Structure 1
Amino acid sequence: MDTSDLITALDRDGQLLAEAAARAGLDTPVPTCPEWRVRELVTHTGAVHRWAARIVGESLTEPIGLPAAPEGDGPELVEWFREGHRQLVKTLTTAEPDLRCWTFMPAPSPLSFWIRRQAHETAVHRVDAEAALDGGGASAAGSSSDSSAGFSPIDAEFAADGVEELLVKFHGGERSRVRTDTPRTLRVRATDSGAVWTVRLSDGPPRTERTAEGPADCELAGPVSDLYLALWNRLPLDALGSTGDASLARLWRERSVIG
């Protein structure tokens, strides 16, 4: 996906997150992150934005800690988030393409890594803010009738890019906990865009290919925006169509959470 389109998505989703958080109120529970209220959601995402902006803006080559949130509470916390989000968008937009800085996953370039990662970080947490605003209704982690229709629209190309990042980058690394003693194959199929991923599971890190070749033990299927939200644990897996061995879908659900 083009980096300019990812920055546009980052800009939009950050604004939507702030709007939803302000309307929901800082004390409102976040159904998609049961341990959080909106306050923690805003604080976390705002800190991540400032963290990424500093790494890119200062061309840091070593990791740093997340900055502290302001002591104030209420509207000023949402404004603190807005300021950090604007700074991140500006920093990523004006950074030199040949920037060299620290990253935590392989990518074509450090700048493309940070643009992509922050776009999807913000999109997923925007969904969290909208789930809080919705009050945990049809768009949150409830019944099998759930779908992404309750959230602001997610562009199909953007959603496919986020599925790709999750399956190939996050779960292609040694830290992935999605492992099986016996080799298994999970297929992920977008029923609207035609994108298909085949995830080969073993006692090592999963290996994902953009292919529909070969048999699969389990297949998860649905609109690509629903795949995006379900695989990022913002919709229940039973919001998707599933065929084959249901235990493999449960294994994914239980072990695929990204910390």
Structure 2
Amino acid sequence: MSDALLNALAETLADLVTTIDTCDDDVLDPDTAVKWLENTGYLLGRLSPRDRRALSALIRRAAAREPDGAWRDDLLRIPESFGLDDDEHELYCDSVEHLERRFVETVRDVDPATPVPSCPGWTFADLVKHHGATHRWMEHLVRTRAAERVWSRDVPLELPDDPRAYPQWLARSADATLRTLRAVDPDTPMWSHGADQRVRFFPRRLLFEAVVHLADAELALGVEPRIAAGTAADGIEEFLENLPYYSWIAEPVAALARGSVRLTARDTGAAWTISFGDGGYSWTKSAEEAAAGVEATAGDLLLLVYGRHRADDARFGISGDRAALDAWLAATAL
């Protein structure tokens, strides 16, 4: 099923539900309206957590295309009213599990000395070691409910001597992390290195660690990365939300001259407008006037944000002030 069809179906469902929910009593009998909405809720409740989350994202994107006002507000309430976001923590854990399997399968038989061009100076051994170490660190943080920063260098890695054994070590590390995450209430307060100071921060962060580093491996092997549009859009927002907490990025961003950049996803219609200058930084999930604009698929935009694609690649449509875009990308380079 194409993204265009999925978006059309989700928008149609959202419009119908909102119309029923807001219809005057003299137009539609309230008891009939309740019956229709209850039946809709029952059917949506039978979807898997992954599908409920995907539907929630589609409905939110449909709402974002509407102008500010009561109709948009009613559309944005649909995911909550039908419980579409109730399993978000488990969904992220499921997504991490799926991505880690793909990652391990991708790197398993590759010579550990193979270079990874998108991470200059790294080999596949370095890439897998880094990703596994991230799992070990985050598992330790969540298991101990860390109240303050614990440096990753202080967490035992139990790294095999032979780099060819790194993929299986990564698989074991990811399994341990997921067991820990699934055993803890996601709303448990704890230290994190991002905006959300709760356990639920970590599976989302690990998902995009996996997405980007799987892309590193695939690009090194000459494979075009496949990133679901909804996942990519969430990854862009996760990056923008946490940017102020990453000092190595926040400080260069604070030094930027005044400017703005708009990212537009061709495949979903989602857009993000980023403003910076005078030591400040902000972003909105909307298409606003900006000094520079970039259009591409959501997946390609995510890899641009993470520096895995270059802006001069033909896949990107760029308008406006190229210098503002280049300054932003240079300041946020990882």
Paired residue for 1:207? 282
- 1:221 paired to 2:295: yes
Q: CA deviation at 1:50?
A: 0.8
- Assess, with a 3 A threshold, how the Cα gap between structure 1 residues 172 and 92 changes in structure 2: closer, same or farther: closer
- Assess, with a 3 A threshold, how the Cα gap between structure 1 residues 182 and 58 changes in structure 2: closer, same or farther: closer
Q: CA deviation at 1:4?
A: 2.6
Cα RMSD, aligned residues only: 1.9
Matched pairs, number = 241
Q: CA deviation at 1:210?
A: 1.0
Paired residue for 2:112? 26
Note if contact 1:180-1:201 (Cα within 8 Å) is conserved in structure 2.
Answer: no
Query: Which of 236, 242, 247 is the matching residue for 1:169?
Result: 242
Tell me which moved more, 64-73 or 84-93: 64-73
Q: CA deviation at 1:3?
A: 2.7
Q: CA deviation at 1:30?
A: 0.4
Find the aligned partners of 1:83 and 1:168 in 2 and give their Cα distance: 30
Paired residue for 1:147? none
The TM-score normalised by the length of structure 1 is 0.86
Q: Helix, strand or coil for the counterpart of 2:100?
A: helix
Find the aligned partners of 2:90 and 2:295 in 1 and give their Cα distance: 29
Note if contact 2:263-2:271 (Cα within 8 Å) is conserved in structure 1.
Answer: yes
- 1:124 paired to 2:212: yes
- Assess, with a 3 A threshold, how the Cα gap between structure 1 residues 39 and 201 changes in structure 2: closer, same or farther: same
Find the aligned partners of 1:249 and 1:4 in 2 and give their Cα distance: 36
> Which structure 2 residues correspond to residues 105-184 of structure 1 after superposition, within 5 A?
105-107=194-196, 110-132=198-220, 134=221, 137=222, 150-151=224-225, 153-171=226-244, 175-176=249-250, 177-179=252-254, 182-184=257-259
Find the aligned partners of 2:123 and 2:246 in 1 and give their Cα distance: 30
Q: Identity over aligned residues, as a percent?
A: 28
- Assess, with a 3 A threshold, how the Cα gap between structure 1 residues 207 and 154 changes in structure 2: closer, same or farther: same
Q: Which has the higher contact order (CA 8 A, sep 6+)?
A: 1
Q: CA deviation at 1:8?
A: 1.9
Find the aligned partners of 1:131 and 1:26 in 2 and give their Cα distance: 15
- Assess, with a 3 A threshold, how the Cα gap between structure 1 residues 205 and 126 changes in structure 2: closer, same or farther: farther
Q: Helix, strand or coil for the counterpart of 1:87?
A: helix
Q: CA deviation at 1:97?
A: 2.9
Note if contact 1:17-1:130 (Cα within 8 Å) is conserved in structure 2.
Answer: no
- 1:194 paired to 2:269: yes
Q: Helix, strand or coil for the counterpart of 2:199?
A: helix
**1:168 maps to amino acid:** E
Paired residue for 2:318? 242
- Name stretches of at least 5 consecutive residues in structure 1 with no aligned partner: 140-149
- Assess, with a 3 A threshold, how the Cα gap between structure 1 residues 173 and 54 changes in structure 2: closer, same or farther: closer
Find the aligned partners of 1:49 and 1:15 in 2 and give their Cα distance: 14
Higher helix share: 2
Paired residue for 2:73? none
Find the aligned partners of 2:186 and 2:322 in 1 and give their Cα distance: 44
**1:62 maps to amino acid:** E
Note if contact 2:116-2:123 (Cα within 8 Å) is conserved in structure 1.
Answer: yes
**2:200 maps to amino acid:** S
Find the aligned partners of 1:182 and 1:252 in 2 and give their Cα distance: 10
- Assess, with a 3 A threshold, how the Cα gap between structure 1 residues 173 and 65 changes in structure 2: closer, same or farther: closer
The TM-score normalised by the length of structure 2 is 0.67
Deviation per CA, 1:58-82: give whole Å up to 9, x if none.
2121222223542511332221111
- Assess, with a 3 A threshold, how the Cα gap between structure 1 residues 21 and 181 changes in structure 2: closer, same or farther: closer
- Assess, with a 3 A threshold, how the Cα gap between structure 1 residues 85 and 203 changes in structure 2: closer, same or farther: same
Note if contact 2:194-2:245 (Cα within 8 Å) is conserved in structure 1.
Answer: no
- 1:81 paired to 2:154: no
Paired residue for 1:42? 128
Tell me which moved more, 174-183 or 29-38: 174-183
Note if contact 1:196-1:212 (Cα within 8 Å) is conserved in structure 2.
Answer: yes
- If you compute each CA radius of gyration, which structure gives the higher value, 1 or 2? 2
- Name stretches of at least 5 consecutive residues in structure 2 with no aligned partner: 1-52, 54-87
Deviation per CA, 1:190-245: give whole Å up to 9, x if none.
111111111111032421111223x2110011111111111111111223111011
Q: Helix, strand or coil for the counterpart of 1:238?
A: coil
Find the aligned partners of 2:245 and 2:141 in 1 and give their Cα distance: 24
Note if contact 1:30-1:37 (Cα within 8 Å) is conserved in structure 2.
Answer: yes
Find the aligned partners of 2:285 and 2:277 in 1 and give their Cα distance: 18
Paired residue for 1:6? 92
